[in-house]
Chains A and B, each alone.
Chain A
Amino acid sequence: MTWLGEWLKQIIFVVLLSSFIEMLLPNRSMERYVKMVLSLLVLMTLLNPILKLFSGNPVEKLQQAIEEQLNPKGSTRSGLEQILKQGELLRQSSLEDSLKWTGNEAAQQMKTQIEAATGLDVDRVAVTLKLEKAEAGTNSGSKAGTNADQQDADTQQYDRPVISGVKVYLNPAEAEAVMASPEEKAGQEPDANQSASAITVPKVQQVQVGIGRIEIEAAPVAAEAPEVTQNSAADDPSDGTVNGSKAEEDESAAAAPESEETRKIRSLLESSWDIEDNKIRIYQLQNEASP
């Protein structure tokens, strides 16, 4: 019954107010017009419960219409918001594009550098970029490519792309040729055999690399946010550029054993690209033909 009381209160108030205003009116010439509007208002108040039944909120609609009539600036405000939103979308897409391009370029350069320095045949280099927030600079930094983090990034003034992971894939034939000692060769073959049983392990590592910026182990949320990963894709352009497709590669790629070459690659990347050691992963591609 509360709505009935409210309704009655509204009617009484509107009727009182309108009679008061008719008294206030300066002269007769305006009276007819004012009376019409006032009686319409009383009618609206009477109809209010029925209006509520039929359309969502008539009062809001009326308010909107009146506001629009009285100050047309209100309508431009929504247009401005729309334009701002579009601009934001454009900015995001260009940001993604530039991140992709940066990743590609960095991967290409790393590949040539590693090949020149070590003489190994590098199949490809995958560089994972992410945006680091200017203020926070913590693990919660945004990841390129996902929408949620773009909204995060919106609140920041300056975001800085940071290399959060590097994966180096070595070609098997060359690698074996370079490895001079038969012991190492022999030491590698068990690895190759193990790779079949150890498929799941590199998978986990790779996912962890995706997010763990400093502490790889402390990143259980890794699976939630895949990063954009760029391959140099020199030999194998069909390879996945996103972590999700890495599962296939794991069948043919196992983590390369620590050796002179991998250490060299690590130190090279560390010195020339300033990438922390734990962000670098080196994989040995398994050759189908090899025993």
Chain B
Amino acid sequence: MEMIQIVGLGLIAAILSLMMKEQKPIFAFLIAAFAGITIFLFLIGKIGTVLETLEELAAASGVQNVYLKTILKIIGIAYIAEFGAQIVRDAGQDSIASKIELAGKVLIIVLAVPIIGIIIETVVKLLPA
């Protein structure tokens, strides 16, 4: 049922923005952005339950919380960067969209820096000085 709602919302937004594109392109962009944000917010509630289950599973299997947190942050960054980039790309600003993607990539790599640091430290300790 929810899927039908989302698809309906998307179809209506697409038709509206097509109609608007002739007269006012800026409103067409606004409609597209609004539809995207609405669907995104709609999904946040659903994601919450999934994340709770994942956290419970992680606690049960004895995985450190840090790993799960890192992984979830990666997904979050990837999705938000993708979403923003697509909206901007719809508006015809490809260069800004690629900057947003770059920012997402950099932030993902930043999450990896502490892990890399610890691994390298361990390797250095393992090797005889």
Interface residues of A (CB under 8 A from B): 6, 9-10, 12-14, 17-18, 21, 24-27, 29-30, 33-34, 36-38, 40-41, 43-45, 47, 50-51, 54-55, 58-59, 61-63, 65-66, 69-70
Contact = CB atoms under 8 A, between A and B. Distances in A.
B63 interface: yes
Contacts of B122: 47, 50-51, 54-55, 58
Given A9-B61, A17-B54, A41 B78 contact: no
Nearest to B64: A59
Interface residues of B, number: 41
A221 to B, nearest CB: 47
A101 B61 CA distance: 64
6 contacts: A17-B68, A26-B78, A38-B74, A47-B122, A55-B122, A61-B114
Contact of B78 (A13, A30, A63, A65): A30
Contact of B81 (A14, A30, A58, A63): A30
B62 A21 contact: no
Q: Is the interface of A mostly helix, strand, loop or mixed?
A: helix
Given A26-B82, A44-B115, A66-B70, A37 B109 contact: yes
Interface of B: 54, 57-58, 61-71, 73-75, 78-79, 81-83, 101, 104-105, 108-119, 121-122, 125-126
A62 B66 contact: yes
Given A21-B75, A58-B118, A62-B118, A10 B108 contact: no
A55 B125 contact: yes
A21 B74 contact: yes
B107 to A, nearest CB: 9
A34 B63 contact: no
Contact of B114 (A25, A36, A50, A62): A62
B66 A59 contact: yes
Contacts of B73: 70
Given A24-B75, A45-B63, A69-B114, 4 more contacts: A13-B58, A26-B82, A37-B109, A69-B111
A224 to B, nearest CB: 45
Given A9-B62, A65-B114, A66-B69, A34 B119 contact: no
A70 B66 CA distance: 13
A26 B108 CA distance: 14
B72 to A, nearest CB: 9
A102 B62 CA distance: 61
Contacts of B111: 37, 66, 69
Nearest to B65: A63
Contacts of B74: 21, 34, 37-38
Contact of A69 (B83, B110, B125): B110
A99 to B, nearest CB: 49
Contacts of B61: 9-10, 12-13
A54 B63 CA distance: 20
A69 B117 CA distance: 14
A36 B112 contact: yes
Interface core residue of B62, B66, B117 (most chain A CB under 10 Å): B66
A8 to B, nearest CB: 10
